Each structure stands twice: as structure tokens, then as C-alpha cells.
Amino acid sequence: MALQFDHFVHLTPDPTKAAEAFQKLGLHAVQGGRHENLGTYNTLSYFDLSYVELIGIFDEALVKEAGSVKYSLRDTFIENNLQSGPQRIALRSDNLQELAEHFKAQGLEVNGPTDFSRTRPDGTLVTWKLLFAGKPDESLHLPFFIEWDEKDHERREDLTARGVIAPHELGDIQVDGAAFAVRNVEETVALWSTLFQLEKGASYIDEEWNSKVQRLSLQGGDIVLYEPLGEGVVADVLEAGGERLFALQFKGATQKVEEITNALYRFV
């Protein structure tokens, strides 16, 4: 059940303007498409097969209807009062049915796998399956899980041919990891490393964000867990909204942090 980083979901009032903000940073971004039955549309920025989904709402009623599926992405949108900012990450699997059985054995509630699709601007259809899992008392949302109907090499070839995957003006930029603010790194690592069968990566102190950090290793971008040591960015995130996803980190450019509609994009 090897998992890979797939994408970072950032809810924003205007995905086109958010894509323009990416382009000003020197990051390639393109129009995505519409999820006709789910009330959302998106723009995308790819770093090989790992990507940022800048997602917006065109029909709030459809979003709320889809949000009735427990632990789903749109359930998270509703729980967050449709506020802009990072929402969830998706991890990629080639066997969601096996993953669903694993999660049930671990005591999680599971929804899916379920088929989904969206229409590209050129009218072609993209299809995939999603799996959602969790527990009612969890303060930190789990990632959700995706299985594309094309193989990785097929998607890479197709997305490159379409110009969706393309060089970034800023350079050879890659996803370093998705940053989560947590109250206790050790507890979260113990749970998530077991649930997702992930190896621990580096452990260190991040002086800029005044936190201790533990990584969980994933191909395409790590899960990076931050526990505050005192005042600072991570402590502010926890105080404002509790344990949650709050940033995406890149490698391959000069160190800096940029904020786009309540999401932090950090170059490390």
C-alpha cells in the first residue's frame, strides 16, 4: 500500500488570480477545470506529479450537498466555513480498496472508494477514485486518498504534452513537504506512521518558525509536522484554528515565505 504525495488543496476566492500570483513568483500555473457535480473549479501548478490545486467555489449549494459525505474534502470546506487557505493534502495509491480495508482494520470510519471526474477546458474528461477516512474525535484531519485511472507514467506524458507539467521560470522547483501544525509531534507521528505505514525522516529544530519538527518520508513531498516551542508562526496557527495543514514547502529556490490567500508557500 505504498503511498505518494499527490496534491495540496488550497481553497481560494478566485483560482485564476491565485494562479497569477503563482506566475508572479515564477511558478508555472494553468487552468484546470470544473467539478460540475461538486460545485468547484480549479487552477493547477505542477512539480512533476506533485501539484497545488487552487480551488474555488461556483455553486455553494452543491458544495454543501457534497459536504454531507463524512471526512470528504468538501466536508472540510464546510467545517472551515468556506474560509480561504490550505484544506487537506491528497496521498496517491494504486489500490484504494486495499487501503480502505487497512483503515477499517485500524478502527477508522471509511467512505469510498468513489469515482470522480472533472472536465478540462478542452472538453476532455479526467477520472479518478477518492477514499476518505477518519474518526469523529480527531482534531487533525487525515489526508484523503486518490487513485488515478491512468498510470503515473501515462499521466506524466499526457500532462507534459498538454503543457500542464512544464519548466518553472524560478528554476527546478520541487515539493519539499506539506506543513502541519500539531500540539504533540510524537503522538501524531506514532499515529500517522502506523496508519500510513510511513518511515520517519529527519527530526530537527526549525529556528525561524520556533518549532521542533519531525518528517514522515513520502515520494513527491514529505509530511512535515511542526510543534511550537514558544511564540511564532506555528503557535499562531494553533491558536487561530487548532491543529491543521498550514503551508507547503518547496526546494530549489532562494529561501523565502510568500502568503497567498491565507496559505503560506515557503521556499527552503
144 closest CA partner among 253, 2, 1, 5: 5
Q: For the segment 33-73, what is each residue's pLDDT rounded down to a tens digit? A: 888 888 999 999 999 999 999 999 999 999 999 889 999 99
Is the bond leading into 228 cis (omega within 30 degrees of zero)?
no
pLDDT at position 178: 98
d(CA 30, CA 7): 15
pLDDT at position 145: 98
Q: For the segment 178-188, what is each residue's pLDDT rounded down to a tens digit? A: 999 999 999 99
Phi-psi sector, 185: left (phi>0), alpha (psi -120 to 50), beta: alpha
Q: What is the mean pLDDT of residues 101-108?
A: 96
What band does 1 get if pLDDT is binned at 50, 70 and 90? Answer: low
Location of C-alpha cell 509530511:
223
d(CA 29, CA 109): 35
- Residues in the chain, overall count: 268
Burial environment of residue 202 by CB neighbours within 10 A (0 to 12, 13 to 18, 19 or more): exposed
pLDDT at position 113: 96
d(CA 141, CA 67): 14
Structural domains in the chain, sorted by start: 4-161 (3.10.180.10), 174-267 (3.10.180.10)
pLDDT at position 117: 85
What distances in angstroms separate CA 87 from CA 28, 52, 70, 111, one per listed residue? 22, 11, 15, 18
Dihedral (CA of 17, 247, 175, 142) sign:
negative
What band does 124 get if pLDDT is binned at 50, 70 and 90? Answer: confident
d(CA 100, CA 50): 22
Q: For the segment 251-268, what is each residue's pLDDT rounded down to a tens digit? A: 999 999 999 999 999 999
Location of C-alpha cell 472508494:
113
pLDDT at position 67: 86
pLDDT at position 234: 98
Q: For the segment 82-91, what is each residue's pLDDT rounded down to a tens digit? A: 999 999 999 9
Dihedral (CA of 33, 35, 39, 42) sign:
negative
| Mean pLDDT over the full length of the chain | 96
Per-residue pLDDT for 247 more than 90? yes
Nearby residues of 208 by Cβ (< 8 Å), 6 or more positions away: none
Q: What is the mean pLDDT of residues 6-22?
A: 98
What band does 137 get if pLDDT is binned at 50, 70 and 90? Answer: confident
